[in-house]
């Protein structure tokens, strides 16, 4: 496969002191040993999958030793650790990354070469570990990489989904979803730990019991029990001074609990119970922006939180510690509100089972928990009906009521007699359906609540939780997101990484600010040439991938303009679409229309139940078909929607991009992290003043980006004044023409109106995301892109400036911010 081939970087292993001692010869032998002794095959019979497995096992041999050493050191020092609770960890592939972090990539490459194999091709065999939807899950993956790299004791806790995010394909332009069977035939990176199984109760009823001293307490009698089986994935820090773990819980039936059913002759019934229990960790919910509200989702949340909290307490007790120092040893970070149920679960264990005083238990919880908010979209804010809670987690509901009762007393003290404020802040929402508001429970409990970029954190204070900010003036803070430079530069763009090694030294991998040292070279013609040659090589690689995946031929001389992220109306892929239609129309009107050839690339999954998102995919595919086969436009315009966008595909797209599309309606993209990956790899951003784009502009200089559209303040003004999309439609003939085009059957022959939904959403339904308001300014930004690209030296300078200015967006910096302001951890790297 040509597409898999990368420029082979000269083996510089002579100058590197690898993190783990292993020569090429030893690596080669280890791979062969695993092929023979673990996989029971031989060189002549082994396919690439077998070679991949053998290589992973060989890497594990080196890794496991470091893992054991890290665990010994952490328990020996009885370290304080952060427990990162997340329903999603979007890990992607691990082989290439683990080799880079062990500093053995070149060694493995040479070893395999000696065996007649290409490491890049072998890496392609690995299925992505797609246990996440998008930004939130990928952030968790970058964070655990950084925690290990920095030497902090940390555990990621999540769910061992049997099926990760669905695999996407297109049928006549429409998205088809298929299950993702990433571990159908086993996975070499995970270690099952039956010795650490946990048991989780569900349903049932609560009894008040009076003990021998006449004191009453609550006992929860479960109606069902689940068994949580932990699978550990080692997380290697760069340089291998720490190997932490990601612990993922798989649900099984609790045989001990179902014993009675068996004994009663219920052999078949017991089997049915078993498969019910196994459904809990069967599948990742594919929504990245709406609250699901399903019973199974609540049970997933409780299941993994209960397992994780018990696991945390088991480790605490094993060290011989006593409750008063719990908060000195344990920090728990809630990745959005999805793991909020860990709060009442910890209270339940401390109060009901350990019989601690409520106030004391509460003071521990306040110190232990902190919460990250990732979105302001109202439809994403989790609420659970009181009725559902009562059925599934009856004791937790009582505990939440008690937390709320005490909290409302504090509110009464601050705002005496103000019932409106009480209704607004209450953890329980009154109404025809009473609901538990998970975000309110998080804010009330946590000692710190953070947003993920400066503007977002400000909006969390002013728009989402203004009263909470008055009540707890130091609680709401900002921690700007970041990305790991190991995966998103060193591993995915080896040629650019090597250029930086040579230019600023190898230290940039852990100290991304070092890239700034390359800034003086931004105007150096020799450096510009090398930088842009690398970009071109990466584009050629992507050209081959596009051909392989879609059959479409594109030219590496065109501007590669890329939008890759989940499909959502607030991210405005439809704005990109109407701009593409604008260019197409200009070309049809005037075949000599002077533009630099442009390839518009998309990658995005739509939530299976999100109609409009799926329509936008359909429209983009239909427009692509028409544009790509239209000889009249002489190949000046191409549109490609790559199927099944995922981490491993992203790793090939970021390095090949000229333009990064970051075009959300201002105020709605909390941060974005793809924006950082593009810039780091030398793409220029066309973007709104939203999320982390704003901080990127501060670092890069807004003049080196293509900023357009309404600001957060202007969006608010326009909405208050009353926004009318027809004003723009009637005042801009080009806009009117492209929208009207969607009503014809030009793109869907014989099916007029097949794309009309999109037009309707932008006009009749009110254009909630202000696409039409930003259209003109967006088109102008694209005209500026065209003009700038013609000046090769200027473009190269800007590309270099973008890349070299990304130091702030290293996820190591984000983690240090959390450590300083939230977690207060110490480093314990191995010697
Ligand atoms: C933001 N996912 C990005 C990124 O902070 C930001 C919601 C509900 C259920 C399941 N998943 C979700 C998100 O809310 C999400 O991914 N948010 C994203 O978090 C990391 O960079 O702007 O949209």
Cα separation, 687 vs 707, in Å, equals 5
Tell me, using a 6 A CB cutoff, whether residue 664 lines ligand 1: no
- Does the pLDDT of residue 440 top 50, yes or no? yes
For the CA of 382, the closest atom of ligand 1 is 8
Maximum distance among all Cα pairs of the chain, rounded to whole angstroms: 93
Are the C-beta atoms of 337 and 442 separated by less than 8 Å?
yes
Catalytic annotation on 677? yes
Cα separation, 710 vs 88, in Å, equals 32
The active-site residue out of 374, 437, 704, 759 is 374
Cα separation, 651 vs 647, in Å, equals 6
Tell me, using a 6 A CB cutoff, whether residue 668 lines ligand 1: no
- Phi, psi at 118, each rounded to 5°: -105, 120
Closest residue by Cα to atom 12, ligand 1, is: 288
pLDDT single digits (tens) 451-482: 999 999 999 999 999 999 999 999 999 999 99
Quick one: residue 40, left, alpha or beta (phi over 0 = left, psi -120 to 50 = alpha)? Answer: left
Closest residue by Cα to atom 15, ligand 1, is: 136
Give ∠ CA 171-174-179 in degrees, rounded to 5: 75
Q: What is the DSSP string of 507-570?
A: GGGT-GGGGGGGGGGGG-HHHHHHHHHHHHHHHHHHHHHHHHHH-----TTSEEEEEES---GG
Percentage of the residues of the chain whose pLDDT score is greater than 90: 94
Tell me, using a 6 A CB cutoff, whether residue 485 lines ligand 1: no
Per-residue pLDDT, 275: 87
Per-residue pLDDT, 12: 45
Task: Give the mean pLDDT of 519-542.
Answer: 98
Task: Give the mean pLDDT of 214-227.
Answer: 95
- Does the pLDDT of residue 256 top 90, yes or no? no
Which residue among 136, 291, 371, 565 is best mutated to probe the pocket of ligand 1, counting the most ligand atoms within 8 A of its Cβ? 136
Tell me, using a 6 A CB cutoff, whether residue 691 lines ligand 1: yes
- Does the pLDDT of residue 15 top 60, yes or no? no
pLDDT single digits (tens) 542-601: 999 999 999 999 999 999 999 999 999 999 999 999 999 999 999 999 989 999 999 999
Are the C-beta atoms of 244 and 827 separated by less than 8 Å?
no
- Does the pLDDT of residue 400 top 60, yes or no? yes
State the distance from the centre of ligand 1 to the C-alpha of 671, rounded, in angstroms: 9
Closest residue by Cα to atom 11, ligand 1, is: 288
State the distance from the centre of ligand 1 to the C-alpha of 488, rounded, in angstroms: 19
Per-residue pLDDT, 257: 73
Task: Work out whether the CA dihedral 260, 265, 269, 274 comes out positive or negative.
Answer: positive
Query: For residue 176, what are the β-bridge partners?
Result: 169
Task: Give the mean pLDDT of 637-660.
Answer: 98
Tell me, using a 6 A CB cutoff, whether residue 135 lines ligand 1: yes
Within 10 Å of residue 401's Cβ, how many Cβ atoms?
15
Closest residue by Cα to atom 2, ligand 1, is: 288
- Does the pLDDT of residue 109 top 90, yes or no? yes
The active-site residue out of 338, 395, 571, 579 is 571
Q: How many CA atoms lie within 13 A of 336 on its CB side?
A: 25
Which among 690, 126, 784, 800 has a CA at the least distance from the CA of 452?
A: 690
Cα separation, 661 vs 673, in Å, equals 12
Cα separation, 635 vs 84, in Å, equals 49
Cα separation, 63 vs 20, in Å, equals 9
The active-site residue out of 340, 673, 685, 688 is 673
Percentage of the residues of the chain whose pLDDT score is greater than 70: 97
Cα separation, 814 vs 827, in Å, equals 15
Tokens of 319: 């060290």
- Residues in CB range of 122: below 8 A, 6 or more apart: 48, 51, 52, 55, 95, 112
Distance between start and end Cα atoms, the chain? 42
Cα separation, 233 vs 67, in Å, equals 10
Q: What is the DSSP string of 733-769?
A: HHHHHHHHHTTSSSSSTT-TTTTHHHHHHHTTT--TT
- Phi, psi at 56, each rounded to 5°: -60, -45
Q: Please report how the helices 771-790 and 733-741 are oriented relative to each other, as an axis angle in degrees rounded to 10.
A: 100
- Does the pLDDT of residue 13 top 90, yes or no? no
Which residue's entry shows tokens 């030793």?
Answer: 65
Task: Give the mean pLDDT of 785-809.
Answer: 98
Closest residue by Cα to atom 9, ligand 1, is: 288
- Does the pLDDT of residue 344 top 90, yes or no? yes
Task: Give the mean pLDDT of 109-130.
Answer: 98
For the CA of 285, the closest atom of ligand 1 is 10
Are the C-beta atoms of 624 and 640 separated by less than 8 Å?
yes
Q: How far is CA 829 from CA 66, 152, 238, 423, 816, in A?
A: 11, 7, 11, 48, 15
Tell me, using a 6 A CB cutoff, whether residue 376 lines ligand 1: no
Q: Running DSSP on this structure, what letter comes out for residue 198? A: E
pLDDT single digits (tens) 486-498: 999 999 999 999 9
- Does the pLDDT of residue 252 top 70, yes or no? yes
- Report the Cα 426 to chain-centroid distance in Å: 30
- Does the pLDDT of residue 10 top 60, yes or no? no
Tell me, using a 6 A CB cutoff, whether residue 481 lines ligand 1: yes
Cα separation, 141 vs 60, in Å, equals 19
Give ∠ CA 572-574-579 in degrees, rounded to 5: 110
Q: How far is CA 513 from CA 336, 506, 648, in A?
A: 29, 12, 26
Which residue among 161, 375, 690 is best mutated to probe the pocket of ligand 1, counting the most ligand atoms within 8 A of its Cβ? 375
Per-residue pLDDT, 4: 45
Task: Give the mean pLDDT of 289-298.
Answer: 89
Tell me, using a 6 A CB cutoff, whether residue 287 lines ligand 1: yes
Catalytic annotation on 673? yes
Tell me, using a 6 A CB cutoff, whether residue 377 lines ligand 1: no
For the CA of 669, the closest atom of ligand 1 is 22
State the distance from the centre of ligand 1 to the C-alpha of 135, rounded, in angstroms: 5
Q: Running DSSP on this structure, what letter comes out for residue 616? A: H
- Does the pLDDT of residue 641 top 90, yes or no? yes
Task: Work out whether the CA dihedral 683, 684, 686, 688 comes out positive or negative.
Answer: positive
For the CA of 290, the closest atom of ligand 1 is 8
Tell me, using a 6 A CB cutoff, whether residue 156 lines ligand 1: no
Tell me, using a 6 A CB cutoff, whether residue 374 lines ligand 1: yes
For the CA of 691, the closest atom of ligand 1 is 22
Cα separation, 383 vs 379, in Å, equals 10
Instruction: Check residues 263 and 192 and name the one with the higher pLDDT.
Output: 192
Per-residue pLDDT, 438: 98
Q: Average model confidence (pLDDT) for the chain?
A: 96
Where are any strands of DSSP class E within 19-94? Answer: 81-85, 89-92
- Phi, psi at 701, each rounded to 5°: 100, 115
Report the residue count for the chain: 831
Q: How far is CA 261 from CA 193, 274, 276, in A?
A: 27, 11, 15
For the CA of 138, the closest atom of ligand 1 is 20
Which among 188, 175, 233 has a CA at the least distance from the CA of 573?
A: 175
Per-residue pLDDT, 19: 78
State the distance from the centre of ligand 1 to the C-alpha of 374, rounded, in angstroms: 5
Cα separation, 813 vs 480, in Å, equals 9
Per-residue pLDDT, 9: 44
- The pLDDT-based confidence of 258 (bands split at 50, 70, 90) is low
Tell me, using a 6 A CB cutoff, whether residue 671 lines ligand 1: yes
Which among 7, 155, 176, 138 has a CA at the least distance from the CA of 648?
A: 138
The active-site residue out of 565, 572, 759, 801 is 565
Q: How far is CA 476 from CA 109, 460, 676, in A?
A: 47, 8, 24
Instruction: Say which range, 15-19, 117-121, 572-576, 773-777, has the weakest mean pLDDT.
Output: 15-19
State the distance from the centre of ligand 1 to the C-alpha of 288, rounded, in angstroms: 6
pLDDT single digits (tens) 150-162: 999 999 999 999 9
Give ∠ CA 753-567-779 in degrees, rounded to 5: 75
Cα separation, 725 vs 491, in Å, equals 45
Catalytic annotation on 566? yes
Tell me, using a 6 A CB cutoff, whether residue 670 lines ligand 1: yes
Instruction: Check residues 12 and 118 and name the one with the higher pLDDT.
Output: 118
pLDDT single digits (tens) 732-758: 999 999 999 999 999 999 999 999 999
Are the C-beta atoms of 797 and 522 separated by less than 8 Å?
yes
Tokens of 87: 């329903």
Q: Running DSSP on this structure, what letter comes out for residue 810? A: B
Catalytic annotation on 565? yes
Tokens of 338: 């999805």
Q: How many CA atoms lie within 13 A of 723 on its CB side?
A: 22
Q: How far is CA 634 from CA 293, 599, 673, 736, 804, in A?
A: 50, 13, 35, 25, 36
State the distance from the centre of ligand 1 to the C-alpha of 439, rounded, in angstroms: 14
Cα separation, 729 vs 575, in Å, equals 14
How buried is residue 96: exposed, middle or buried, by Cβ count under 10 Å (0-12/13-18/19+)? buried
Query: For residue 177, what are the β-bridge partners?
Result: 168
Tell me, using a 6 A CB cutoff, whether residue 673 lines ligand 1: yes
- Report the Cα 527 to chain-centroid distance in Å: 33
State the distance from the centre of ligand 1 to the C-alpha of 380, rounded, in angstroms: 9
Tell me, using a 6 A CB cutoff, whether residue 139 lines ligand 1: yes
Per-residue pLDDT, 31: 98
Task: Give the mean pLDDT of 764-770.
Answer: 98
- Does the pLDDT of residue 259 top 70, yes or no? no
Q: How far is CA 415 from CA 405, 408, 422, 429, 490, in A?
A: 15, 10, 9, 19, 54
Per-residue pLDDT, 262: 63
- Report the Cα 446 to chain-centroid distance in Å: 23
Tell me, using a 6 A CB cutoff, whether residue 133 lines ligand 1: yes
Using DSSP's 3-state secondary structure scheme, residue 729 falls into: helix
Tell me, using a 6 A CB cutoff, whether residue 802 lines ligand 1: no
- The pLDDT-based confidence of 6 (bands split at 50, 70, 90) is very low
Are the C-beta atoms of 522 and 136 separated by less than 8 Å?
no
State the distance from the centre of ligand 1 to the C-alpha of 445, rounded, in angstroms: 22
Cα separation, 399 vs 478, in Å, equals 30
For the chain, list the domains and their CATH numbers: 1-76+96-127 (no CATH), 78-93+128-166+177-376+448-481+816-823 (3.40.50.2000), 485-704+783-809 (3.40.50.2000)
Which among 90, 192, 202 has a CA at the least distance from the CA of 484?
A: 90
Tell me, using a 6 A CB cutoff, whether residue 484 lines ligand 1: no
Which residue among 374, 377, 672, 818 is best mutated to probe the pocket of ligand 1, counting the most ligand atoms within 8 A of its Cβ? 374
Task: Give the mean pLDDT of 705-718.
Answer: 98
């Amino acid at each position: 496969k040509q597409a898999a081939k990368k420029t082979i970087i000269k083996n510089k292993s002579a100058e590197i002191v690898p993190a783990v001692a292993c020569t090429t010869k030893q690596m080669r032998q280890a791979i062969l040993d695993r092929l023979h002794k673990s996989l029971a095959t031989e060189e002549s019979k082994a396919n690439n999958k077998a070679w991949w497995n053998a290589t992973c096992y060989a890497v594990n041999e080196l890794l496991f030793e470091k893992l054991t050493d890290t665990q010994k050191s952490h328990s020996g020092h009885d370290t304080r650790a952060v427990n990162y609770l997340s329903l999603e960890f979007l890990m992607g592939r691990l082989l290439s990354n683990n080799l880079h972090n062990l500093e053995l990539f070149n060694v493995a490459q040479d070893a395999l070469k000696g065996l007649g194999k290409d490491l890049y091709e072998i890496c392609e065999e690995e299925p992505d570990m797609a246990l996440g939807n998008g930004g939130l899950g990928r952030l968790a993956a970058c964070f655990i990489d950084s925690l290990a790299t920095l030497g902090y004791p940390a555990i990621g806790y999540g769910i061992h989904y049997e099926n990760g995010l669905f695999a996407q394909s297109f049928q006549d332009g429409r998205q088809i979803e298929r299950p993702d069977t990433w571990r159908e035939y086993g996975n070499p990176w995970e270690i099952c730990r039956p010795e650490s199984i946990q048991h989780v109760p569900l349903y049932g009823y609560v009894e008040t019991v009076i003990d021998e001293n006449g004191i009453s307490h609550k006992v929860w009698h479960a109606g069902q029990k689940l068994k949580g089986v932990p699978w550990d994935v080692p997380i290697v820090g760069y340089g291998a001074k720490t190997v932490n773990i990601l612990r993922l819980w798989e649900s099984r039936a609790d045989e001990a609990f179902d014993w009675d059913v068996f004994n009663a002759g219920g052999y078949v019934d017991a089997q049915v119970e078993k498969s019910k229990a196994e459904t809990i960790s069967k599948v990742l919910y594919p929504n990245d922006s709406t609250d699901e509200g399903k019973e199974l989702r609540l049970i997933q949340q409780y299941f993994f939180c209960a397992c994780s909290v018990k696991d945390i307490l088991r480790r605490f007790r094993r060290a011989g510690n006593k409750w008063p120092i719990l908060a000195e040893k344990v920090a728990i970070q809630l990745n959005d509100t999805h793991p909020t149920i860990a709060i009442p679960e910890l209270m339940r264990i401390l109060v009901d089972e350990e019989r601690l005083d409520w106030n004391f238990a509460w003071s521990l919880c306040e110190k232990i928990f902190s919460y990250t908010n990732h979105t302001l979209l109202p439809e994403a804010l989790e609420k659970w009906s009181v009725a559902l809670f009562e059925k599934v987690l009856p004791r937790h509901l009582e505990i939440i009521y008690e937390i709320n009762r005490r909290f409302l007393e504090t509110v009464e003290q601050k705002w005496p007699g103000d019932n409106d404020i009480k209704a607004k802040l209450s953890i329980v929402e009154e109404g025809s359906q009473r609901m538990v508001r998970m975000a309110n429970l998080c804010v009330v409990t946590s000692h710190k609540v953070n947003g993920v970029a400066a503007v977002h954190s400000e909006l969390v204070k002013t728009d989402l939780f203004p009263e909470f900010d008055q009540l707890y003036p130091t609680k709401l803070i900002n921690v700007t997101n970041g990305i790991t430079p190991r995966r998103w530069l060193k591993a995915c763009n080896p040629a650019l990484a090597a250029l930086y090694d040579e230019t600023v030294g190898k230290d940039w991998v852990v100290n991304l600010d070092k890239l700034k040292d390359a800034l003086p070279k931004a105007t150096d013609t020799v450096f510009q040439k090398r930088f842009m040659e690398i970009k071109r090589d990466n584009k050629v690689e992507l050209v081959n991938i596009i051909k392989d995946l879609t059959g479409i031929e594109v030219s590496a001389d065109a501007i590669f303009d890329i939008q890759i992220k989940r499909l959502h109306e607030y991210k405005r892929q439809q704005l990109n679409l109407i701009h593409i239609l604008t260019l197409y129309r200009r070309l049809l009107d005037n075949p000599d229309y002077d533009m630099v050839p442009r390839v518009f690339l998309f990658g995005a999954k739509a939530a299976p139940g999100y109609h409009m998102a799926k329509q936008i995919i359909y429209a983009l595919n239909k427009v692509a078909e028409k544009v790509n086969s239209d000889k009249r436009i002489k190949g000046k315009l191409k549109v490609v929607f790559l199927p099944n966008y995922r981490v491993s595909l992203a790793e090939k797209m970021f390095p090949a991009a000229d333009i990064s599309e970051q075009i959300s309606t201002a105020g709605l993209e909390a941060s974005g992290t793809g924006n950082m990956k593009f810039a780091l790899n030398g793409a220029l951003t066309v973007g709104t003043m939203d999320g982390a784009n704003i901080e990127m502009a501060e670092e890069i200089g807004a003049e080196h980006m293509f900023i357009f559209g309404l600001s957060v303040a202007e969006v608010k003004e326009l909405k208050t004044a009353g926004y009318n999309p027809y004003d723009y439609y009637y005042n801009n003939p080009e806009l009117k023409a492209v929208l009207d085009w969607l009503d014809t059957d030009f793109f869907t022959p014989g099916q007029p109106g097949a794309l009309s939904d999109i037009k309707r959403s932008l006009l009749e339904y009110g254009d909630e995301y202000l696409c039409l308001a930003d259209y003109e300014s967006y088109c102008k930004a694209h005209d500026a892109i065209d003009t700038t690209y013609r000046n090769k030296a200027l473009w190269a300078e800007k590309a270099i400036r973008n890349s070299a200015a990304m130091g702030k967006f290293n996820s190591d910096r984000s983690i240090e911010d959390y450590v300083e302001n939230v977690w207060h951890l110490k480093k314990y790297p191995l010697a």
